Structure 1
Amino acid sequence: MAAAITLAADAPTLSSANTGFMLICSALVLIMTPGLAFFYGGMVRVKSTLNMLMMSFISIGIVTILWVLYGFSLAFGTDSGSLIGWNSDWVGLSNIGLTELWDGYTIPIFVFMVFQMMFAIITPALISGALADRVKFSAWALFVALWATVVYFPVAHWVWGAGGWAFELGVIDFAGGTAVHINAGAAALGVILVIGKRVGFKKDPMRPHSLPLVMLGAGLLWFGWFGFNAGSWLGNDDGVGALMFVNTQVATAAAMLAWLVYEKIRHGAFTTLGAASGAVAGLVAITPSGGAVSPLGAIAVGAIAGVLCAMAVGLKYKFGYDDSLDVVGVHLVGGVVGSLLIGFFASGKGQSDVEGLFYGGGLDQFWKQCAGVFAVLGYSLVVSAILAFLLDKTIGMRVSEDDEVAGIDQAEHAETAYDFSGAGGGAARTTALPTAVTDASKKVDA
């Protein structure tokens, strides 16, 4: 009886503070998807802006429903063969008590479920940046549903689900370097190898149409990423969540500076696009590693990722794959760098006592990280390419060449991002304009 009393006393109880903290973090992660939409939307040409926004927003709708119906069960249910989970009580979230706690933690299952839902939403949205200008919206929506089901949900179980093979092996992924960024980056590469290049790739200028929009999106991503990273500890009773918060800021700043220095040396200018891309590269790299490294280690992780990702974005021109908005160069490469550097910079004073090579721990953790990184990369690359191939051969993945050249916004959404015809408020003007002005306006319209 005494033992039973002791166990009952040690059992976790619901914490209002941690529950509130995690709900806020969930909202922060959700805002990252609109932030991503703005980031990508500003990087494309005017004629593709709305399509880029919609490719992110449709992920919110599709993945939310799938997560409720069966995604949460597949990712975090009872393990089966170290590859997938399942819990019939979680299908449709129909048999979960409102105050039933997540396994060993002080937050309700519903709170953990909705936090992880936001991760599931943004991961396929990340892929969309590689496919800008040329994919049918209906085909993209179907791809999101299929990819989330056969790629993201299983991989999330491998990495974070109790019994998942990577989890049991000891692969460290604090908040999604493998499950989110490598997963999405490898998928992007697999799809673009199937659907091919944009019309005019390496011939026509395809510059960002709105760098302010890009910077706004990057700022929202940076802001939301604190919830993405710090929230992944599911509380902050031991300070690890605070460490992750600090390292997120530190690594992102270091990566942005490193990217800018690299492009100044390489291209002769500090660009706003470079600052935004460098920040995102740092956010990606610290996502798997931030709970395991010190702030000094976070500076190293960010700086290395900033330079390597800046170098990687040019590979598409060398090898001829059309990664429109550098998803491969930033998310795949950044995720790989951040995950593997754990094997060198893990301090043993954060989320676990694991020490990397530079802290006397040898290469044991590095090899574990390699196993997780390359298994996820290979699986996502191959399965994503197969999905794209099947969709392309059935309903077709690409819009017609004429629609691509004319603009995918008009072809797929019957809208344009900007209406210049009403510039200056002409519709509301009540006084007559001078004849010279109206004549000039007619010439411009013509």
Structure 2
Amino acid sequence: MLFRILSILGLASLAFAGEPTLDTGNTSWMMTATALVMLMTPAGLALFYAGMTRTKNALNTTMMVFAAYALATVVWVFWGYSLAFGDDVAGIIGSLKHIFLNGIEYSDLESSGYPSYVFVAFQGTFAAITVAIASGSIIERTKFSTWLVFVILWGTFVYAPIAHMVWGGGFLYNAGALDFAGGTVVHMNGGLAGLVAALMIGKRKGYPKTQMMPSSIILTALGAALLWFGWFGFNAGSEFAADGVAGSAFLMTNFAAATAAVTWIILDYIKFGKPTLLGTASGAVAGLVAITPAAGFVGVIGALIIGIGGSVFGFFGVTVLKKIFKYDDSLDAFGVHFIAGLWGALATGLFALKDLAWAGSPLHDHGDRLGQMIVQLESVAVTIIFTAIMTAIVLKVSSLLTGGARVSEEAEVEGLDATIHGEKGFNL
């Protein structure tokens, strides 16, 4: 009996010494958050994009997003996770120590007491939606085979390094860069990749003179609502615990999105004289994008300003910037995700609350807001330069391996639903 008591006390002392124990509350929350983020891609983003696409390409657009989720998840488990969160190599990439999840057991726990396998799954949903975002810039003219190769290479050579630099122990992480849930890692990264790919593949036939009507704005609004719903897991889940910060991130996410949606309605009235459902849905998404890097770091005033700014800058990207430079960003992935994400990444440095954001930052003790802004600018600059160059290389290689990235003129005119998949999105 005495031995049993001493054994129990000994185990207790190990727990107090820092060994994590299973926390069922945190485990339940993180599994739920992972499921919410999963819903965002093959359901939310797919519908959001498909509704904006012409009827003859709606199924192909959905298929590009759906396939990206599946293929990126396979890549993530095979080697992507290890490259993003493995042992640091030169501050830029992780090692292949955990290839095929080698060395990670189902019983391993993260510091807040939930299984490491859940962390792998949660982070994998981020990798998948990031590359799927890029598809919105190149739909209606891209070979599906090229897209599949691009997803594999881009997830390996673009997403994984950026995730490691910012989140996985790389040099931006160590410098104190703040990105709560993916302003640089996800939205700037995916949005800029989309623009680079769109410029390389070229404009759709007839753009911008030919009117290209969306297949269903109702579907787009439904997709935006599912994205909004899933975003609670995206942002609040990034606290990795069911605690007060997660609760704050949950509220700020909802508040910023609502603020941005209302702001876009006002902007529609000012510019067009009419409020549009497409604009309202786009505004909500722009607000969600903007608050993502700041969700767990800011209070109500910060969320309000970030939400309004996300909508204003997103509106500018979609209605002004695109017309000035005349690029064919089909579904405004760059205008909404990159532009609003850029604003959010920088605004995080401006509005982050010291006690929430800087607790583990090397800038915390000095309360160095200027220093934080410099680090935020550095993380933005690194993301832009690295993503632009590496995306161009990856798309070029993908194009060479598949005999060109663009479909034939005949296929583009007929529509990719029929020519690539032999199906129709709508049998009207």
Both proteins in one fold, TM over 0.5: yes
Q: Tell me what 1:74 maps to.
A: 83
Matches of 1:325 and 1:151 in 2, distance apart?
A: 22
Match of 1:367 among 348, 364, 374: 374
Unaligned runs of 5+ in 1: 421-446
Q: Tell me what 1:185 maps to.
A: 191
Which string of whole-angstrom CA distances, capped at 9 and with x for unpartnered residues, describes residues 308-350 of structure 1?
A: 1101112222102100000110000011000001121112232
Identity %: 44
Match of 1:126 among 105, 126, 133: 133
Equivalent pair of 1:292/1:351 in contact (CA under 8 Å): yes
Q: Tell me what 1:332 maps to.
A: 338
Taking structure 1 as the reference length, the TM-score comes to 0.89
Greater CA radius of gyration, 1 or 2?
A: 1
- Aligned partner of 1:67: which letter? W
Q: Tell me what 1:443 maps to.
A: none
Q: Tell me what 2:103 maps to.
A: 95
- Aligned partner of 1:91: which letter? I
How many Å apart are 1:92 and its aligned residue?
Answer: 1.6
Which string of whole-angstrom CA distances, capped at 9 and with x for unpartnered residues, describes residues 279-334 of structure 1?
A: 00000000001111101210110001101110111222210210000011000001
Q: Tell me what 1:115 maps to.
A: 122
Match of 1:403 among 403, 411, 418: 411
How many Å apart are 1:3 and its aligned residue?
Answer: 12
Residue 39 (str. 1) matches residue 42 (str. 2): no
Residue 62 (str. 1) matches residue 71 (str. 2): yes
Matches of 1:32 and 1:225 in 2, distance apart?
A: 7
- Shift in CA distance, 110/355, structure 1 to aligned 2, threshold 3 Å: closer
Equivalent pair of 1:258/1:278 in contact (CA under 8 Å): yes
Equivalence map 1:12-411=2 (5 Å): 12-33=20-41, 34-88=43-97, 90-102=98-110, 104-162=111-169, 164-237=170-243, 239-314=244-319, 315-353=321-359, 361-394=368-401, 395-411=403-419
- Shift in CA distance, 5/87, structure 1 to aligned 2, threshold 3 Å: farther
How many Å apart are 1:165 and its aligned residue?
Answer: 0.8
Which string of whole-angstrom CA distances, capped at 9 and with x for unpartnered residues, describes residues 4-52 of structure 1?
A: 9856414221101101110010000000002100000000110010010
How many Å apart are 1:392 and its aligned residue?
Answer: 3.0
Equivalent pair of 2:26/2:112 in contact (CA under 8 Å): no
- Aligned partner of 1:66: which letter? V
- Shift in CA distance, 66/100, structure 1 to aligned 2, threshold 3 Å: same
Equivalent pair of 1:202/1:317 in contact (CA under 8 Å): no
3-state DSSP of counterpart to 2:154: helix
How many Å apart are 1:385 and its aligned residue?
Answer: 1.5
Equivalent pair of 1:342/1:365 in contact (CA under 8 Å): no
Matches of 1:242 and 1:351 in 2, distance apart?
A: 15
How many Å apart are 1:361 and its aligned residue?
Answer: 4.8
Matches of 2:301 and 2:56 in 1, distance apart?
A: 43
Unaligned runs of 5+ in 2: 1-8
How many Å apart are 1:213 and its aligned residue?
Answer: 0.2
- Aligned partner of 1:365: which letter? Q
How many Å apart are 1:190 and its aligned residue?
Answer: 1.1
- Shift in CA distance, 45/36, structure 1 to aligned 2, threshold 3 Å: same
Matches of 1:347 and 1:82 in 2, distance apart?
A: 27
- Aligned partner of 2:420: which letter? E
Taking structure 2 as the reference length, the TM-score comes to 0.93
